[in-house]
Amino acid sequence: MIEDSEIEKLLLPRFMNYVRYCTESSRNVPETPSTAGQWDLARALCEELSALGLKDVTLTNHCYVIARLPPSPGKENAPSVGFLAHIDTASDVSGKDVQPRLVPNYNGEKIELAGGLFLDPAKEPDLAAQKGKTIIHSDGTTLLGADNKAGIAIILTAMEYFLRNPDIPRGKIRIAFTPDEEIGRGMSKFPKEKAKSIFCYTLDGDGEGTIEMECFNAYSATVNIKGNVIHLGSARGKLVNAVKLASEFVQMLPSQESPEATDGRYGYYCAVNISGNLGEAKVELLLRDFDKTNMEKRIKAVESAAKTLETLYPGSSVNVSFTRQYGNMADLITKNIAVYPLRYCCHISNS
C-alpha cells in the first residue's frame, strides 16, 4: 500500500524546485522552443532522470526531453505506456522569480497575497475543497506554474517510486516533456520516431479524478490591416486609421462566443493581442472548437469579417493568415478504437 506521506516527501520538494525556473513561452517567437528559459529546466530534468537511473535520456535540438523506464522482470512483453507533460508556462502572467508558498493542513480560510490580493474559498469552490490538505500557491506577484510543472513533478515522482520499489509489476514506460504547449506548438517538432508507446497519458487538466479523451481543434489567426495615412489636420474623408479598424474587427467577433462566455464543448474566438499604428495594425486571434465543421465555419467567419471591414473602409486592406495548432485527439481515437481503447487514450488531471 502506497502511503500518501511517502509520495508527498518525494513530490513536494521536486515541484517547489521546478516552479522557480522561468519557462514562459512566447507566441511572438517562431523558433522551438520560443524562450531560452525552457532549456534550463529541460537540462535539469535530463540530469535528474539520468541520476534516477532512467535509460536513453535524450534532449533533442528542439528541447524535447525523452526517456524510458525498463519493465519489471516478467513484464518485458507488456504494452508500453507513455506519460507526457509540458515544460513551458503561460506568458499572460509573469513566471519569473516565482515564490511558492507551502501551506500544510490548509484551514479553509482566506489566503492573503501580495498587493492586498486574496484567495477566497467563498469565491473559489476548488480552493474550499482543499481544506485540511497541503496546498501550494504563489505570493500573488506571479503565476505559480503548476500548469504544467505539477505534471512533470508527478511523472518524475512516479518514476522514482518505481525505481525504489522494483518489485512492483510494471510494463515499459516512456516519458516526454515538451516545450511551447501554451502557444499551441507542444508537439510540432516532436521526433515521431521516438514515439514507441501505443497509448499515452498527458498529465495536465482540470479537477481531481478528471479523465478527458478529447480536446479542441485549435487554430491561430493573424489579421494584418493596412490603412491610409494622411496629416491629421487634413484627414477628413481621407484617413483610414488602421488602429481603429483593428478595434472594429475585434468587435465584429461574437461576444457570446468568447472564452469568458462559454464552457463545456462550446468553441470560441479569442483576441489575444492588438498592435500597430495609423498605417498598419495586427490582430492575433485564437480559434477553438471541438467540431471540425464548426471550426471551418469559424475560419470563414473571420475571413468574412475581414472582407466586410475592407468594404466599409475603402482604401484599407485586411488580410488573414491561419495556422493549424493541433486537432481534437478524439477524431483519431474513435477511428482506431480497436488499437486505441478509450480507457487508455486520455488527458488526465494533475490536480
Q: What is the pLDDT of residues 136-184, one digit of tens each?
A: 999 999 999 999 999 999 999 999 999 998 889 999 999 999 999 999 9
Round to whole Å and give the CA distance between 20 and 97.
6
Q: Identify the pLDDT of residue 143.
A: 94
Q: Is the pLDDT of residue 288 over 90?
A: yes
Residue with cell 505534471: 151
pLDDT at 343 over 60: no
pLDDT surpassing 80 at residue 296 = yes
pTM here?
A: 0.86
Residues catalogued as catalytic: 88, 181
Specify the pairing of strand 211-212 against strand 346-348: antiparallel
User: Would you place residue 3 in the very low, low, confident or very high pLDDT band (cuts 50, 70, 90)?
Assistant: low
The model's confidence at residue 13, banded by pLDDT at 50, 70 and 90, is: very high
What pLDDT does 305 receive? 97
Asked whether the beta carbons of 111 and 128 are under 8 A apart, the reply is no
Identity of the amino acid at 173? I
Residue 30's closest CA among 257, 221, 183? 183
Q: Which residues pair with 335 in a beta bridge?
A: none
Kindly report, as residue ranges, where domains of CATH 3.40.630.10 are found in the chain. Answer: 4-97+142-204
Contacts 24+ apart (CB under 8 A), 131-134: 131/106, 131/107, 132/105, 132/106, 132/108, 133/105, 133/106, 134/8, 134/12, 134/102, 134/103, 134/104, 134/105, 134/106
Output the average pLDDT for the chain: 91
- The answer, yes or no, to whether residue 347 has pLDDT greater than 70, is no
Q: pLDDT tens, 73-122?
A: 999 999 899 999 999 999 989 999 999 999 999 999 999 999 899 999 99
Distance CA 235, CA 239 (A): 5
Query: At residue 321, does pLDDT exceed 60?
Result: yes
Number of Cβ within 10 Å of residue 58's Cβ equals 14
Residue 252 has pLDDT above 90, yes or no: yes
Q: What is the DSSP string of 265-319?
A: T--EEEEEEEEE-SSEEEEEEEEEESSHHHHHHHHHHHHHHHHHHHHHSTT-EEE
What residues form DSSP beta bridges with 112? 118
Fold of 4-97+142-204: Aminopeptidase (3.40.630)
User: What class is the 217-326 domain?
Assistant: alpha beta
> For 219-240, how does the pLDDT look when each residue is reduced to its tens digit (9 = 90+)?
999 999 999 999 999 999 999 9
CATH 3.30.70.360 maps onto the chain at 217-326
Peptide bond preceding 228 in cis form (omega within 30 of 0): no
Whether residue 65 has pLDDT greater than 90: yes
Q: What is the pLDDT of residue 86?
A: 97
238-247 pLDDT, tens digit per residue, is: 999 999 999 9
- What percent of the chain stands above pLDDT 70? 95
What pLDDT was estimated at residue 2?
A: 59
| pLDDT score at 331 | 80
Top pLDDT among 347 and 262 is at 262
Q: What is the mean pLDDT of residues 198-218?
A: 84
- Provide the 10 A C-beta neighbour count for residue 19: 24
pLDDT for 351:
34
Q: Is 82 helix (H, G, I), strand (E, B) or coil?
A: strand
Q: Does the structure show a pLDDT above 80 at 339?
A: no
DSSP label at 109? S
The Cα 313–Cα 127 span in angstroms is: 49
Dist CA 205 CA 202 (whole Å)? 8
Instruction: Say whether pLDDT at 340 is over 70.
Output: no
